[in-house]
Amino acid sequence: MLYSLSGKLSLKKTDFVAIDVNGIGFKVWTCLRTFRELPKVGEKIDMFCHFHVHQNGMDLYGFLEEKELDFFELLLTISGIGPKAALKIMEVMKVDNLLAAVSKGRTDLLTKAAGIGAKKAARIILELSEKINSGKAGGDIEQIESNMKIEEALKPLGYKQNEIREAIKRISPKAKTVEEKLKESLRILGGK
């Protein structure tokens, strides 16, 4: 029904924002990860939204990237995972990292989410791995893991995340191993 909102950010709290769309203020629940990336109050904002109807009312959950919304909705298909629990899971790590954890069966990474025990993490992995492999979400998991390793190696060197991601996009397809990609990333970042 409602897929996205575009308007002015009129209020931001750690767990929700208010978006003014032509004089109508929409309350949109967010996770802390999204909160950290929000623009300043008064600036334009575009959010992808999930409209959730429940027994006591209706809520909107918002994300800055479409892939975050897709992953959130995948989490909601799992029995016992509601919107609030899904947001807590998504606060732990980026969607690409969550997809990699699911694809590799890493329950230990998912248990870091508040309120997620080993059994629930195992169920998430079991149910989502089938959906990710069927093409409903995700992508090249090996590529995602490789990019994560490169980001983790370059961050301590003082490079900003957006610089690292731009360098990763420019890596030649001839670079196959993580080491080769890391060397090429450093060369790109160094301007050589």
pLDDT digits (tens, 9 = 90+) for 120-150: 888 888 888 877 754 444 445 566 667 778 8
CATH fold of 68-133, please?
A: DNA polymerase; domain 1 (1.10.150)
CATH placement of domain 4-63 = 2.40.50.140
Percentage of residues of the chain with pLDDT beyond 70: 91
pLDDT in tens, 2-39: 899 999 999 999 899 999 999 999 999 999 888 889 99
Strand, helix or coil for residue 192? coil
Q: Is the CB of residue 177 less than 8 Å from the CB of residue 148?
A: no
Radius of gyration of the chain (CA): 18
Whether the pLDDT of residue 106 is over 90: the answer is no
For the entire predicted model, the pTM comes to 0.67
